[in-house]
Structure 1
Amino acid sequence: MARLYESPAEDGRVLARALDAFRQRTSMDMVFGGPVRRGSVAMEITALNGARTRSAANLVVHKGEGLGGKALVLGRPVMVADYVTAEGITHIYDHAVRPEALQTLTALPIVVERAPRLLIYLGARAQVSLGDRWFDTFSPIVRRIERDLAVDDEVQRRLSLLQQANGYPALTRGDLFDIARELNDLADAIDDESVKARLQAVGDRFAPSVAPDRSTVQPLLRPREIDVLREVSRGLSNREVADALGLLPNTVKSYLKNAMRKLHVSNRVQAITAAREQGLI
């Protein structure tokens, strides 16, 4: 079966984490789903959690067809207590559902910017009575997924601007530095530590290449880097700073090195001076 499109790697990671979280929170027997094609015309099931077979793997679900297709049309969750006898949906995908012996089934669209981005199915191999309060129990998971996808979209948009920057006269060096700063600000909004680290690394990678005018743009320093500079300005050694902040000496050294690079200075004395000039410490 031909794939609809190659979904972004980050979408795949968000989906995998979402399936784990939904299964733990809802105690459903099987949770599965995949990305929605642009225009919400179809989706492809690319991830399975709790499956007994591969019957649903890479199944393409079209808008308006089956439970998932109905959820795409409505833009909201759709549930059936007994899938086999359910009315109001087409049963074109029964061949994928029956091998899993699923009875109660919910199709949940994850919506970003008013458009479904992922479609997640929650299935039980027995008839389960579910109500509005059941949906409320996992609404924080939905909000977190939507936020992570929205943040990733913004990161990709800004990376695209950065990649075009060399031939883009409308972007000044200060503009590029602001973009790098916002990448780090976006990182602060992410709970997942691996994603946070990736965003911070990208922001750090681009920030030093911009070298803006210090009089108009402040350096892109993280709160911990400012904390380290503040302690260093008191005359403390790296080990003493580490003890004061509850960090390892090598971590303090790394923060200090990053701060010096972002401030475009070569030693800690110059870093303290530059940070004080810009009101950072």
Structure 2
Amino acid sequence: MSFETDTPIERRILARSLETLRKHAGMDMVFGGPVHHGAAAMEITDLTGVRTRSAVNLVVRNGEGLGGKALMLARPVSVADYISSQGITHVYDHAVRPEAIETLAALPIIVDRTPRILIYLAARTHVRLGDRWFDSFTPLVRRLERDIAVEDEVRRRLSLMRTTAEADRATLSRADLYDIAQELTNLADQIEDETLRAKVEAVGNRFAPVLGSARSQEPPTLLRPREVDVLEHVARGLSNREVAEALGLLPNTVKSYLKSAMRKLHATNRVQAILAARERGLLR
């Protein structure tokens, strides 16, 4: 069973947040990346608003430069005139100068006392950054911290289930399998990233009981052929976009078919719909 994605948690969460951060900050550039080995270093992997590629894949070490200072102190730091600042080392000036950065702030995203992402907010002019400016980022920072914590918990639970439940699947009762599938459904509902959510749902589908001849005695539910097609693809772990591509539909059409199928099956989410469809013999 595989539930990993090709891109680390931190990069996916950062990539989808860059433009929101830039608009909120009112800055010219936002860039950053995941923190490695506790807080030993970070790598700049994702950027927006840049003019050059001078900072791409730059590794910033703890204590070096403004970002390294933020890692060392585990709190936000800033400089109003980067090039002339005396409060930081200038080992990364070769990456900063081509972008003509004047004002720079470094914002660590910390989960369980460990920095996980370091975000830079940069302007090519002088900008006054006070406590009120930094405080305005608190809701965004809390959301990023929550997203990382949720995905950490998803992986922890999936790993635990993989090593315990799947190994003993032959001895688990139908009720046990249903409980596992339901727990995974609840976890999936907390995930914003569509690709990871689909993968978690796919793992839940694998634990969902397939009744065969012992199907529910509920009255038959009539689904349209396309609704069944969509559910079958969702059960394989495909996202709405991937289902749309596979079936030659628009993503909004896929959402419409899913919503209709869920209503007919009295389900509140995708995994519940798949469970209900299997109960009724509508899916293999």
**How far off is 1:144 after superposition?**
1.0
Q: Structure 2: which amino acid aligns with 1:194?
A: E
Does the aligned pair in 2 maintain the 1:162–1:176 contact within 8 Å? no
Query: Residues 10 and 209 from structure 1, CA distance in 2 versus in 1: closer, same or farther, beyond 3 angstroms?
Result: farther
Query: Residues 236 and 254 from structure 1, CA distance in 2 versus in 1: closer, same or farther, beyond 3 angstroms?
Result: closer
Does the aligned pair in 2 maintain the 1:183–1:199 contact within 8 Å? no
Count of residue correspondences: 233
- Cα distance per residue 1:44-101 (max 9 Å; x no partner): 1011111111111111101111111110011110111111111121111111111100
**How far off is 1:33 after superposition?**
0.4
**How far off is 1:267 after superposition?**
6.4
- Mapped to 2, the partners of 1:201 and 1:14 lie a distance apart of 19
- Mapped to 1, the partners of 2:37 and 2:156 lie a distance apart of 17
**How far off is 1:176 after superposition?**
6.2
Identity within the alignment, % = 51
- Mapped to 2, the partners of 1:249 and 1:30 lie a distance apart of 40
Structure 2 portions without partners, runs of 5+: 212-217, 225-254
**How far off is 1:186 after superposition?**
2.9
Residue 252 (structure 1) aligned with residue 239 (structure 2): no
**How far off is 1:185 after superposition?**
2.2
Helix, strand or coil for the counterpart of 1:107? strand
Q: Structure 2: which amino acid aligns with 1:266?
A: R
- Mapped to 1, the partners of 2:257 and 2:58 lie a distance apart of 52
- Mapped to 1, the partners of 2:21 and 2:273 lie a distance apart of 43
Q: Counterpart of 2:194? A: 194
- Mapped to 2, the partners of 1:37 and 1:156 lie a distance apart of 18
Q: Counterpart of 1:133? A: 132
Q: Counterpart of 1:9? A: 8
Q: Structure 2: which amino acid aligns with 1:43?
A: M
Does the aligned pair in 1 maintain the 2:32–2:120 contact within 8 Å? yes
- Mapped to 1, the partners of 2:63 and 2:19 lie a distance apart of 27
Q: Counterpart of 2:205? A: 205
Q: Counterpart of 2:279? A: 265
* Matches for 1:217-256 after TM superposition, within 5 Å: 251-254=259-262, 256=265
**How far off is 1:167 after superposition?**
3.7
- Mapped to 2, the partners of 1:61 and 1:207 lie a distance apart of 43
- Mapped to 1, the partners of 2:144 and 2:45 lie a distance apart of 17
Helix, strand or coil for the counterpart of 2:16? helix
Q: Counterpart of 1:19? A: 18
Q: Counterpart of 1:225? A: none
Helix, strand or coil for the counterpart of 2:182? helix
- Mapped to 2, the partners of 1:7 and 1:67 lie a distance apart of 30
**How far off is 1:236 after superposition?**
10
Considering only aligned residues, what root-mean-square deviation do their CA atoms show, in Å? 3.4
Does the aligned pair in 2 maintain the 1:107–1:122 contact within 8 Å? yes
Does the aligned pair in 2 maintain the 1:110–1:118 contact within 8 Å? yes
**How far off is 1:157 after superposition?**
1.4
**How far off is 1:21 after superposition?**
1.1
Query: Residues 131 and 178 from structure 1, CA distance in 2 versus in 1: closer, same or farther, beyond 3 angstroms?
Result: farther
Structure 1 portions without partners, runs of 5+: 1-5, 212-231, 240-246, 269-281
Residue 75 (structure 1) aligned with residue 89 (structure 2): no
**How far off is 1:260 after superposition?**
7.2
Query: Residues 28 and 250 from structure 1, CA distance in 2 versus in 1: closer, same or farther, beyond 3 angstroms?
Result: closer
Query: Residues 260 and 105 from structure 1, CA distance in 2 versus in 1: closer, same or farther, beyond 3 angstroms?
Result: closer
Query: Residues 114 and 182 from structure 1, CA distance in 2 versus in 1: closer, same or farther, beyond 3 angstroms?
Result: farther
- Mapped to 2, the partners of 1:70 and 1:112 lie a distance apart of 18
> TM-score under structure 2 normalisation?
0.70
